[in-house]
Structure 1
Amino acid sequence: MTQTPRQVVVTGAGSGIGAAVAKRFVDNGDVVHLLDISADRLASVSADLPAAQVTTHVVDVTDHVRVAETIAEVSANGAIDVLAGCAGVFDGLAGIEQTTHELWNRVIDINLTGTFNVVKPVVESMITQRSGSIVLIGSIAASRATPDGLAYDTSKAALEGMTRRLAVDLGQYGINANLVAPGVVGTAIRATSEEILGDMVPDTNVGVGTSPELMKMLIPLQRGGTSEEVAATVFFLASAGAAYISGDVVHVDGGWIAS
């Protein structure tokens, strides 16, 4: 446990990796601000967390005005120490022929522009104390394009570029920026993405998963990962032990990147 509770912002905190990340920081004694587009999912996650350590904010990350207002509200309690950017949606296996302009714009707007919308005001808060840690959630899809859709792959590859540039821009202020790239992780992203994207995702691509046989072939550890394993990596990258790591991409993929 850290000696002084940190102020932590987690986007996409209503489910999956975001929820696991929020819990990991709460368990450490930090004050965690949960942002998600779904009030119901936020209520479900926060119900299991100590009320004194969490705040919940219903936020669509594509609404930069609402995001800025929320970050200003959080910063009123003190500068933000950690941002864990976990908000994102998945477009199934939609390739170029199936990706409409509507689907492309929505996925890029949430996964990429939405991340920028959050990072921008958080950085302003971190600069005031000349310290902080930004950890974004990318994907193995940035390096291995076959398991996911065109817009999703593109957004996650772009986040790697964003992370490197943030590291260059922010190092002078004592702020580091890194990205965690999960492989196969069991979450509800398909269900939450279907809820957000609706019929923009082709029906044939909804619910497509990675079979155990395929995992054995592609993944040296021969299994999928857990949200908690990803959260542990995010927590480390935001810790003092990772203070000299910046601009890096850390794969949490069971060795898939090596195969």
Structure 2
Amino acid sequence: MTEPRSVVVTGAGSGIGAAVAATFAEAGDRVFLADLSEERLDQTVRSLGSELVQGRPVDVTDAAALHDFVDWVVARTGRVDVLVSNAGVFDGVADIQETGAELWNKIIGINLTGCFNAVKAVSEQMITQRSGRIITIGSIAASRAMPDGIAYCAAKAGIEGLTRRLAYDLGQYGITANVVAPGAIRTGIRATSEEILGDLVDANRGVGVNADLMNLLIPAGRPGLPEEIAATVFFLSGEGAAYISGDVVHVDGGWIAT
């Protein structure tokens, strides 16, 4: 019988993070959830209803707090097998004129610096055990300028560079690092096709929000589901993906191809 793995998921209180947590828990892994919101975190833990799932509120911009969180995990399992760095916030499609220093620092701080803090916190343990899987959650916004605001695009592009360098640095220790880059996903931020498209097009240009536009932008003709992101993350965490590292896997219904 395979031993349960020790899995850390940041931003696990809702959306993609909660779906990732559920996927690992259903596979019998021990899952440790971090989220800024204690209320959302408690809801996720209760909804999963598994003794294998535990959570603690953590601010990913606080490097010391993340190190304490990882120490808490290691004290219970002796290791960290998988990190899913998912914590992030959206910037409301703010362009350069609308993005001031406060918004820029918030988006970069949570999305990019928070990701760095998470991988920094787990890397020492993974190096010691000479194994591990690091999966960061990026975005199609790293490759296309239209979908999101300037700070969000910059942060997600930074995550790709960070993750590639992790693959280079940590491969010698049996650790892989990959990015899963979602496209338009139904989450708490944008739950309907209309809301997603409302963010993808500039209303001032007079572009209608309708099914034809969705089909034009996304060959699959629909937004994705958090569970579809979670399935890709789970694959990259397994032995079947042992020779995949430093890669970006787009889960976007074919959007990147258009």
Specify if TM > 0.5.
Answer: yes
Query: Aligned letter for 2:177?
Result: A
Residue 222 of structure 1 corresponds to which residue in structure 2?
221
3-state DSSP of counterpart to 2:243: coil
Check the 8 A contact 2:92/2:199 in 1, yes or no: no
Whole-angstrom distance in 1 between the partners of 2:196 and 2:50: 36
Structure 1 unaligned blocks of 5 or more: 192-204
Q: What does 1:68-79 align with in structure 2 at a 5 Å threshold?
A: 68-77=67-76, 78-79=78-79
Query: Aligned letter for 2:133?
Result: S
Residue 198 of structure 1 corresponds to which residue in structure 2?
none
Ranges of 4+ aligned residues in structure 1 off by more than 4 Å = none
Whole-angstrom distance in 2 between the partners of 1:36 and 1:190: 19
Residue 103 of structure 1 corresponds to which residue in structure 2?
103
Task: Provide, for residues 132-189 of structure 1, a one-character-per-residue CA deviation record: whole Å limited to 9, x for no partner.
Answer: 0000000000111111000000000010000100000000000000000000000013
3-state DSSP of counterpart to 1:189: coil
3-state DSSP of counterpart to 2:157: helix
Q: What does 1:1-259 align with in structure 2 at a 5 Å threshold?
A: 3-77=2-76, 78-189=78-189, 208-210=198-200, 211=209, 212-259=211-258
Query: Aligned letter for 2:22?
Result: K
Whole-angstrom distance in 2 between the partners of 1:189 and 1:240: 33
Check the 8 A contact 1:92/1:208 in 2, yes or no: no
Structure 2 unaligned blocks of 5 or more: 201-208
Residue 206 of structure 2 corresponds to which residue in structure 1?
none
Shift, 1:67, TM fit? 1.0
* Cα distance change, pair 206–94 in 1 and its aligned pair in 2 (3 A): farther
Check the 8 A contact 1:79/1:128 in 2, yes or no: no
Shift, 1:209, TM fit? 3.6
Check the 8 A contact 2:197/2:214 in 1, yes or no: no
Check the 8 A contact 2:148/2:199 in 1, yes or no: no
Give the RMSD, CA atoms, in angstroms: 1.7
Whole-angstrom distance in 2 between the partners of 1:92 and 1:217: 22
When the two structures are superposed, what TM-score results if normalisation uses the length of structure 2? 0.91
Check the 8 A contact 1:92/1:206 in 2, yes or no: no
Query: Aligned letter for 1:120?
Result: K
3-state DSSP of counterpart to 2:47: coil
Shift, 1:50, TM fit? 3.5
Shift, 1:49, TM fit? 1.8
Residue 196 of structure 1 corresponds to which residue in structure 2?
none
Check the 8 A contact 1:8/1:31 in 2, yes or no: yes
Shift, 1:207, TM fit? 9.8
Residue 197 of structure 1 corresponds to which residue in structure 2?
none
Percent of paired sites with the same residue: 60
Shift, 1:206, TM fit? 11
When the two structures are superposed, what TM-score results if normalisation uses the length of structure 1? 0.91
Shift, 1:130, TM fit? 0.2
Query: Aligned letter for 1:33?
Result: F
Shift, 1:109, TM fit? 0.3
Shift, 1:190, TM fit? 5.6
Whole-angstrom distance in 2 between the partners of 1:208 and 1:186: 13
Whole-angstrom distance in 1 between the partners of 2:172 and 2:147: 37
Whole-angstrom distance in 1 between the partners of 2:197 and 2:48: 30
Query: Aligned letter for 1:5?
Result: P
Whole-angstrom distance in 2 between the partners of 1:216 and 1:36: 34
The number of equivalent residue pairs is: 245
3-state DSSP of counterpart to 1:135: strand
